[in-house]
Amino acid sequence: MLVGASCDSPEAQKKFKEKHNLPYTLLSDPEGKLAAAFGFGPRQRKTAVVDKEGRLEKVCATVTAPTHAKDLLKELAGGK
């Protein structure tokens, strides 16, 4: 499952999701609690990959927004 999170409001996320035709859920984290749980600072664009058991598997510190999700899914499937 792929889920995105940001400190943006649910309304802003809805507009962003529609604008970019994103097929995954976006979570609103206005207080930064989720980001802090992963050790991310406020407004840092990073990706955390969590396995089925809830363990942190990978952190991507460099994110190229337009292709990041597609590139990461390919990498996780073993297709570097």
Mean pLDDT of 33-44: 84
Full domain range(s) for residue 53: 3-76
Mean pLDDT of 37-65: 82
Check pLDDT > 90 for residue 12.
yes
Mean pLDDT of 27-33: 90
Check pLDDT > 70 for residue 80.
no
pLDDT at 79: 65
Asked if 64 contacts 77 with a C-beta cutoff of 8 angstroms, the reply is no
Looking at residue 36, which CATH number applies to its domain?
3.40.30.10
Rounded to whole angstroms, the Cα distance separating 17 from 41 reads 23
**H helix or E strand, kind and range, residue 28:** strand 25-28
Domain count, the chain: 1
Rounded to whole angstroms, the Cα distance separating 41 from 25 reads 21
**H helix or E strand, kind and range, residue 37:** helix 33-37
pLDDT at 9: 92
pLDDT digits (tens, 9 = 90+) for 52-63: 898 888 888 877
